[in-house]
Structure 1
Amino acid sequence: MDSAASFSPVASAGQLVQTAFVTLDIHSTIKEMTRRLGVGPWFLRERGVFPRQNYRGKPTDTALAIAMGYAGDMQFELIQQLDDTPSVYREILDRSGPGLHHFGMAAKDYGAALDHYASAGYELAYEAEVANGARVGYFDTKGALPAMIEVIEFLPATAKMFAGFREAACGWDGRDPVRPRT
C-alpha cells in the first residue's frame, strides 16, 4: 500500500461524515455547542416526521427536531425526540441519557453498506426515508462501538445539502447561529 489515502477498511460501508447526539433540549444544546466548541451555524428543523420509518421491524412515526452544523470538516447532528414512541433515540436516552448517539457514514451504494454492517453481525434497528428522498439505516453495534452506526444514502441532493451547511460554516462570524431548515 503506497499511501494512507488508499487505505479504506470500510469502503463498502461508506465514509465517516457525521457525529450525532441525542438531547432533551435541542436549543440549549445548540447554544452550548456553539459557545463552547464553535459549531455553527446550525440548520434546524423544529419538527419533522419522516414519511416511512421502521423501528426494529415495525412501522413508526417518531417526531424529531433535528439540527446540523459544522466545525471545520466535522458535521454535528443534534436530535431531540418530540414524542414518547419507542425509537433508537429513546433507547439511548433511556439507557444513558443525552449524549453520543451515532456515527454517520455516507454511502453511495446504500444496499452494499447495509449488507456490510449486517454481515458484521449488527442489527438494522431503524430505517427511514428522509425529506430529500434518501434512505438512512441505523445499526445497533451491540457495544462493539460506543454508538450506533447510521448509513446515509448519499444522493446528489444529500451531498448538496451537506456542502451548503459546510460552506455556511466556512468563515462564519457567529451571527445568525440558528437558521431554519425546511
Structure 2
Amino acid sequence: MSRFLGQIRQLGYVVDDIEQAMDYWSRVLGVGPFFYNERVPIENYRYRGEAYDVHNSVALANSGFMQVELIQTRNDAPSMYRDFKQASGTGLQHVAYWTESFDEDVVRLTGQGFEIAMSGEVGRNGRFVYFDTEYHPGTVIELSEVAGPKGEMFRLIREASETWDGNDPVRPFPDLGRL
C-alpha cells in the first residue's frame, strides 16, 4: 500500500482506438467487462486554469480491486491526456487514488506543494483533480472523489468483473443519476 494516499485503485491508459483497446484487454488479457461511455459528461473542466469543452471516451473495467481506465480523446481540447499522447504516444498516463475526503485531501496535497493541472467533475460527488506530477511517463497522480454515485458505479463495475464469463465484454456506463 502507498504511504501517499492509500492504495492505487486505477491505472489510466491513453489509447488511439478505444474499441480496439477494449477488445485487446478483454479478449487477450481477460479483463472485463468494460463499461463504456463515448462522451463522458465532464462539467466544470479546467486545464491549467482555463475552461475547455473536452470530448473524451472512457471505458472502465476491473481486474480484482484494480480498475483499468481506457481514455481516447476525441477533440483537440487542451488536457493532460492530449499532452501525454503528443509527448509519449499511448500507454499508462496516470495512477488514481480514490477518496471520500476529497476537499481535505486536496488541501493537504496542495499544502505539500502539489499543483493541480486538470480538474472537473462527473456527476454528484464525482470530482477529480490531476496533479502536475509526471516526472516519469505514467506517473501523473489523479485524486478521484468516490463518496456518492461515482463510487457506487465503481463498485458495480468491480462486482461485474468478479462473475464475468467473457460474454458481453462492452456495456454502457451505469447511469449516475439513478445510483
Q: TM-score, normalised by structure 1?
A: 0.88
Pick the aligned partner of 2:123 from 131, 139, 147.
131
CA deviation after TM superposition for structure 1 residue 107, in Å:
1.1
> In structure 1, what is the equivalent of residue 69 of structure 2?
77
For 1:101 and 1:84, the matched residues in 2 are separated by 17
Pick the aligned partner of 1:150 from 142, 157, 163.
142
CA deviation after TM superposition for structure 1 residue 110, in Å:
0.9
1:42, 1:177 within 8 Å by CA — same for their partners in 2? yes
1:14, 1:108 within 8 Å by CA — same for their partners in 2? no
> Which one is further off, 113-122 or 80-89?
113-122
> In structure 2, what is the equivalent of residue 87 of structure 1?
79
Matches within 5 A, 1:10-159: 10=4, 13=5, 15-143=7-135, 146-159=138-151
CA RMSD of aligned residues (A): 1.8
For 1:90 and 1:145, the matched residues in 2 are separated by 13
For 2:152 and 2:142, the matched residues in 1 are separated by 19
Taking a change above 3 Å as real, the CA distance of residues 145 and 15 of structure 1, as seen in their structure-2 partners, is: farther
Q: Percent identity?
A: 37
Give, as a single letter, the amino acid of the residue that structure 1 aligns with 2:60.
M
CA deviation after TM superposition for structure 1 residue 63, in Å:
0.7
Give, as a single letter, the amino acid of the residue that structure 2 aligns with 1:9.
R
Pick the aligned partner of 1:9 from 3, 18, 21.
3
Count of aligned positions: 174
1:62, 1:83 within 8 Å by CA — same for their partners in 2? yes
For 1:144 and 1:111, the matched residues in 2 are separated by 27
For 2:137 and 2:88, the matched residues in 1 are separated by 15
1:49, 1:61 within 8 Å by CA — same for their partners in 2? no
Greater Cα radius of gyration, structure 1 or 2:
1
Taking a change above 3 Å as real, the CA distance of residues 8 and 40 of structure 1, as seen in their structure-2 partners, is: closer
Which consecutive residues of structure 2, in runs of 5 or more, have no partner in the other structure? none
CA deviation after TM superposition for structure 1 residue 145, in Å:
7.2
1:18, 1:103 within 8 Å by CA — same for their partners in 2? yes
For 1:131 and 1:79, the matched residues in 2 are separated by 18
> In structure 2, what is the equivalent of residue 4 of structure 1?
none
2:13, 2:69 within 8 Å by CA — same for their partners in 1? yes
Query: SS state of the match for residue 47, structure 1?
Result: coil
> Which one is further off, 158-167 or 144-153?
144-153
Query: SS state of the match for residue 126, structure 1?
Result: strand
> In structure 2, what is the equivalent of residue 3 of structure 1?
none
CA deviation after TM superposition for structure 1 residue 112, in Å:
2.3
